[in-house]
Structure 1
């Protein structure tokens, strides 16, 4: 049970943090900072690009966080060996979701730039 709990707690905390960041991104409350966010050349061009990119990426970010929370729950119920597999699958899931979020953010910024070309 110790392995399951020591696996589940970090997964739960990381998942909750990602969901919180996604919610702040969706609302536009996540300003550029040195700690969290999608750091691509597109989102780092300016404050508006940061906001647009993060708002667009909120859904795949949320999916990644929810996947980690689900992996935490699974880790508690599937036994010690299963807890390790739940962690591996949860971590792979969040990596894929965050990569998708980065692509979505970049495309949203590119669309914004295409709609509002520089003078």
Structure 2
């Protein structure tokens, strides 16, 4: 049971953090920063592109986050033998949805119609 719980706790914490980020992104209150966010060329172009891109990425990011929460529950229910498998499935689910989020963010940020920032 120790392995299952020690696997589930980080998944739970990460799932809650990603849900918080998705919520802030959806409300367009996630500021451009160096720590959290989808950092593509198009989203970094301007504050408007950042906000619009993250708003578009919020739903897929939330779906990925819920996968981590489900994996945390699955790790506890599966027991020590299968907890790692549940964690791997949850992490793979999140990575897939992060790719979808990044694509959605880039597409929405490009639709702002702003010119690229000078290099």
Q: Which residue of 1 aligns with 2:89?
A: 89
1:88 Cα deviation from its structure 2 partner: 0.3
SS in structure 2 of the partner of residue 95 of structure 1: helix
Q: Which residue of 2 aligns with 1:43?
A: 43
Q: Which residue of 2 aligns with 1:106?
A: 106
More helix per residue: 1
**Corresponding pairs, count:** 116
1:112 Cα deviation from its structure 2 partner: 2.1
1-structure distance, mates of 2:81, 2:63: 25
2-structure distance, mates of 1:117, 1:87: 42
- Superposition pairs for residues 15-26 of structure 1, below 5 Å? 15-26=15-26
Q: Which residue of 1 aligns with 2:66?
A: 66
SS in structure 1 of the partner of residue 80 of structure 2: helix
1:31 Cα deviation from its structure 2 partner: 0.6
1:36 Cα deviation from its structure 2 partner: 0.3
Q: How well do the aligned residues superpose, as a CA RMSD in angstroms?
A: 1.3
1-structure distance, mates of 2:96, 2:41: 19
Normalised by the length of structure 2, the TM-score is: 0.94
1:35 Cα deviation from its structure 2 partner: 1.0
SS in structure 1 of the partner of residue 36 of structure 2: coil
